[in-house]
């Protein structure tokens, strides 16, 4: 069931990157509150172990095992994040197509359905009109998310440079936006789109608690459709 097939005019969707083991805990919380998410994976980095230094802490960055992808993400959506996480604006046309389309085909094989979504990898300026046009014209991707939060609920025409509403570590802003979205009365379709990385929840002792508070706030509303990115955007 897709958002545009619903009578409901409001939708909430989540998008998380990198395919790390913290996704397992996140999915347990999402399922607890009946929420849906799209997980953007790098197929050539699956099963790899790593550590990140963030905010003075060592943070585990272990990737989901290849053979576990279908089971772990069941009930949600798997989408492209490129094969190896390069900044696509620094790649030539051929490499952009290879990074995106091969990842898409690899992931489709793992999950057993056609993968059509994507999120751009890397921070900073990680997308532009050239990259978006190449992806649109040469791959099976039908939408791609940026990391540029716009604090807006309006639908967007350009699905190949789709800006999210909020970044999940901006807890106070996200909670305020959540309250505003719940109270919003509208005859036009509105989307509240949240993005992040599940490993970032390990930055602070209370981050998982704060995220669950947000889930409690926005879940189980009769006038809101809860779907994956594909279900909401396409």
Whole-number Å distance between alpha carbons of 229 and 77: 8
Query: Which region holds residue 122: left if phi is over 0, alpha if psi is between -120 and 50, else beta?
Result: left
Q: What is the pLDDT, as a whole number, of residue 135?
A: 98
Residue 1 pLDDT > 70, yes or no?
no
Q: What is the pLDDT of residues 130-171, one digit of tens each?
A: 999 999 999 999 999 999 999 999 999 999 999 999 999 999
Element holding 184 (H helix, E strand) = none
Whole-number Å distance between alpha carbons of 114 and 101: 12
DSSP string over 3-18: GGGSS--EEEEEEEES
CB 59 within 8 A of CB 34: no
Q: How far apart are the first and last CA of the chain?
A: 11
In a 13 Å sphere around the CA of 160, the CA atoms on its Cβ side amount to 17
> What is the length of the chain?
234
What mean pLDDT is predicted for residues 195-213?
Answer: 97
Q: What is the pLDDT of residues 25-59, one digit of tens each?
A: 999 999 999 999 999 999 999 999 999 999 899 99
Give the confidence band of 225 by pLDDT, cuts at 50, 70, 90. very high
Q: What is the pLDDT, as a whole number, of residue 2?
A: 77
Structure tokens at 197: 């990385």
Q: What is the pLDDT of residues 180-191, one digit of tens each?
A: 999 999 999 999
∠ at Cα 103 (98, 109), nearest 5°?
Answer: 130
CATH topology of domain 3-233: TIM Barrel (3.20.20)
Give the confidence band of 6 by pLDDT, cuts at 50, 70, 90. confident
pTM as predicted: 0.98
200 DSSP 8-state letter: G
Residue 128 pLDDT > 90, yes or no?
yes
Q: What is the pLDDT, as a whole number, of residue 5?
A: 80
What mean pLDDT is predicted for residues 125-132?
Answer: 97
Give the number of other Cβ atoms within 10 Å of residue 228's Cβ: 23
Give the number of other Cβ atoms within 10 Å of residue 6's Cβ: 16
């Amino acid at each position: 069931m897709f958002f545009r097939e619903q009578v409901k005019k409001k939708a909430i969707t989540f998008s998380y990157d990198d395919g790390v083991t913290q996704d397992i805990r996140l999915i347990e919380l999402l399922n607890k509150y009946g929420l849906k998410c799209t997980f953007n994976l790098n197929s050539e980095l699956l099963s790899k172990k790593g550590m990140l230094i963030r905010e003075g802490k060592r943070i585990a960055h272990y990737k989901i095992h290849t053979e576990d992808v279908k089971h772990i993400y069941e009930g949600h959506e798997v989408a492209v994040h490129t094969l190896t996480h390069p900044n696509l604006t620094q790649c030539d046309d051929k490499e952009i197509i290879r990074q995106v389309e091969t990842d898409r085909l690899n992931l489709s094989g793992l999950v057993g359905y056609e993968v059509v979504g994507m999120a751009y990898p890397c921070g900073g300026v990680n997308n532009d009109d050239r990259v978006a046009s190449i992806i649109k014209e040469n791959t099976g991707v039908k939408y791609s998310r940026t990391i540029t939060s716009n604090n807006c609920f309006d639908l967007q025409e350009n699905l190949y440079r789709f800006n999210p509403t909020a970044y999940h570590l901006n807890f106070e802003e996200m909670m305020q936006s959540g309250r505003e979205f719940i109270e919003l009365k509208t005859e036009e379709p509105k989307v509240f789109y949240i993005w992040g990385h599940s490993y970032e929840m390990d930055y602070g002792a209370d981050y998982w608690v704060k995220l669950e508070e947000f889930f409690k706030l926005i879940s189980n509303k009769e006038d809101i459709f809860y779907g994956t990115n594909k279900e909401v955007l396409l």
